[in-house]
Structure 1
Amino acid sequence: MDQHGLDSWELRFDGAKARAGICRFDRKVIGLSRHLMALFDCDEVIDTVLHEVAHALVGPRHGHDEVWKATARSIGASATRCVSEHAPAVRSAWTGTCPKGHHVTRHRRPLRVASCARCSPEFDLEALITWRRNGSVVPMSDRYEAELRALRRRHTAGGAELPLLGLLDGRWAEAG
């Protein structure tokens, strides 16, 4: 990093599992996922470091724009926004499945009830996601179960189904 004029910056490894690197401008820190760096080959690690160095060089207002791309290429980075879909990934502990078989993954235990976004753009109990941890059914948190009970009660209040748009800060918004 010193060779790019970033001698006041630090390089740190962190516990991220879903992103390879991050440039924290406010702290002058480039963070790398220790999990992904252990899986990547040498070229992928170098490209990730150079990707974040390019961010540090151009500043926080450029994102992945043309200025950032030109800088990334000039220092030897691939100038791609994301890691290749073929790059190794950390396996997610949590897998959710909707009734139609669509899957979503999470690295952490889901805290809120969710429905499948592919089946319905709005919350829909008919598209409820059920979760497994490392392939096994496990109990969800008390808060999760309480939310699910409340959703089911609300959905069938008075024996008639209510049209639901979803939860907004814990409050219901009903179609109408």
Structure 2
Amino acid sequence: MNLFEARRLTVTLLHRHGLDAWKVEFSRAKTRAGACRHERRAIVLSAPLVTVMSEAEVVETVLHEVAHAMVGAQHAHDEVWRRTAQRIGATGRVSLHTSASPAHDWVGTCPRGHEAQRHRRPAHPMSCGECARRFDVTALVAWRYKGRDVPMTPAYRAEEAALLARTSA
């Protein structure tokens, strides 16, 4: 679903449920489809996820967050929230079960070719979980960002250098 349609749908559902003072915002989150920000009176939708979700999944996400807005922050995912979510047409499930997923920006490869994927830049060196049960510098993962070799942060490089120096000593 495109973001314009998602915004229009969300505004319509907010009005339908008496939340005229609430607004719609988009985030860059890649692991959370939506959020209800009571302090800002905002329903926040993940732009990367919305663009790969079906209309039914977006409706479920919006209704989930509308239910949070209706019952207040103190209810989280309790029975009051669940009954409200179901009354307005949501399933009342805590998380969205979807196959939609944006591509991972960071892909790491170990010396034997196994891959690891991350949405965010790795903060610390890691070794391949398939090659070694515990951290092993011989199975260090080399990272690429969107298919390109990019320099890691100075802190990452310093930690990696220290690990390599310990094993060569």
- Please say whether Structure 1 and Structure 2 have the same fold, judged by a TM-score greater than 0.5: yes
For 2:101, the equivalent position in structure 1 comes to 89
CA distance in 1, matches of 2:141, 2:94: 30
**Counterparts of 1:82-161 in structure 2 under 5 Å?**
82-86=95-99, 88-97=100-109, 103-115=115-127, 120=133, 125=137, 128-153=140-165, 155-156=166-167, 159=169
Which 5+ residue runs of structure 1 have no aligned equivalent?
Answer: 160-176
Residues 1:49 and 2:62 aligned together: yes
Q: Is the 8 A contact 1:97 1:129 kept in 2?
A: yes
Q: Which has the higher helix share?
A: 2
Q: What secondary structure, in the 3-state scheme, does the structure 2 residue paired with 1:31 have?
A: strand
**Alignment match of 2:72 (pick from 50, 59, 68):** 59
- Deviation, structure 1 residue 116: 5.4
Listed one character per residue, the Cα deviations across residues 138-172 of structure 1 (whole Å, up to 9, x for unaligned) are 4323331111112333x438x4xxxxxxxxxxxxx
- Deviation, structure 1 residue 115: 4.3
Q: Which has the higher strand share?
A: 1
**Counterparts of 1:27-46 in structure 2 under 5 Å?**
27-46=40-59
Which 5+ residue runs of structure 2 have no aligned equivalent?
Answer: 1-13
Aligned Cα RMSD in Å? 2.7
- Deviation, structure 1 residue 133: 2.4
**So what's the TM-score if we normalise by structure 2?**
0.74
Percent sequence identity is 46
Compared CA separation, residues 97 and 73, structure 1 to 2 (3 A) = farther
Number of paired residues? 155
Tell me: higher relative CO, structure 1 or 2? Use CA pairs within 8 A at least 6 residues apart: 2
Q: What secondary structure, in the 3-state scheme, does the structure 2 residue paired with 1:83 have?
A: coil
